């Protein structure tokens, strides 16, 4: 039997099922007035589509609480429209369609493990670490420093093909730390 919980108990970070959709709660607000029952407003992310929704529920509604399985995996290769990852403990390989990893692909390489999220046997997506270390494969090593007051930056290309701005002192072959949330240079590795 599934765990049924009151909608008001779905705090941030908890996952629940509403109909055929799976959500993770991002924010919850309770509104109780003297004249009517509690109204619960939830901001949640649909784990299948990635969309964020806001919805109001009566406080006496119950939903099914679900538990997600998260496995640390390493990138192996990409072929036939799939990106393959391998579980370091079981050596099980899974393929995720490239279309579902458009942003994440910019920061995935063999050296940076990622977390693959499952619900039952369904792969819901991947979670990147907050920062990853990647190598610069193309940047202009002869850039002129010039304007040093305003943090002079130059274009660079990472080993994954992602383009970003880096400080003038960064050279080809340098490993740098990049923030995966916004794709911005953080520091030298």
pLDDT averaged over 10-residue windows placed end to end, the chain, 189 residues: 80 88 89 80 87 87 90 92 91 90 90 89 87 91 61 89 92 93 90
Which residue segment(s) compose the domain that 146 sits in? 131-188
* Boundary of a domain, candidates 19, 46, 66: 66
Q: Do 58 and 103 share a domain, yes or no?
A: no
Number of domains in the chain: 3
143 and 120 in one domain? Answer: no
Residues 21 and 61 in one domain: yes
Residue 74 and residue 50 share a domain = no
Picking from 127, 142, 162, the residue at the C-terminal end of a domain is: 127
Residue among 91, 81, 86 nearest 114 (CA): 86
Give the CA distances from residue 141 to residues 47, 103, 138, 184, in Å, rounded to whole numbers and listed in that order: 43, 27, 9, 20
Same domain assignment for residues 27 and 50? yes
pTM here? 0.74
Q: Are residues 10 and 61 in the same domain?
A: yes
The CATH code of the domain that includes 91 is 2.40.50.140
44: left (phi over 0), alpha (psi -120 to 50) or beta: beta
Of 15, 36, 66, the position where a domain reaches its end is 66
Same domain as 61, residue 13: yes
pLDDT of residue 142: 67
One domain, residues 61 and 100: no
Q: Same domain, yes or no, for 123 and 153?
A: no
Q: Do 12 and 54 fall within a single domain?
A: yes
* Same domain assignment for residues 16 and 61: yes
At 29, give phi and psi (nearest 5°).
Answer: -130, 135
* Contact present, 158 and 112 (Cβ < 8 Å): no
CATH label of the domain that carries residue 49: 2.30.30.30
CA distance 176 to 167: 11
Are 39 and 95 in contact, with CB atoms under 8 Å apart? no
Regarding whether 62 and 95 lie in a shared domain, the answer is no
């Amino acid at each position: 039997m599934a765990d049924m919980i009151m909608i008001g108990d779905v705090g941030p970070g908890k996952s629940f099922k509403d109909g055929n959709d799976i959500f993770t709660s991002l924010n919850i607000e309770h509104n109780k007035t003297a004249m009517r029952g509690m109204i619960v407003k939830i901001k949640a992310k649909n784990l299948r589509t990635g969309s964020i929704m806001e919805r109001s529920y009566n406080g006496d509604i119950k939903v099914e609480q679900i538990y997600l399985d998260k496995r640390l995996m390493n990138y192996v290769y990409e072929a036939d429209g799939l990106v393959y990852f391998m579980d370091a403990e079981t050596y099980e390989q899974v393929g995720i369609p490239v279309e579902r990893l458009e942003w994440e692909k910019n920061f995935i390489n063999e050296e940076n493990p990622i977390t693959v999220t499952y619900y039952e046997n369904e792969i819901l997506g991947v979670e990147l670490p907050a920062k990853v270390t990647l190598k610069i494969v193309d940047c202009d090593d002869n850039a002129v420093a010039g304007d040093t007051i305003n943090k002079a930056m130059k274009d660079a290309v990472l080993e994954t093909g992602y383009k970003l701005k880096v400080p003038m002192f960064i050279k080809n072959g340098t490993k740098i730390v990049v923030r995966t949330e916004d794709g911005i240079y953080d520091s030298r590795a």
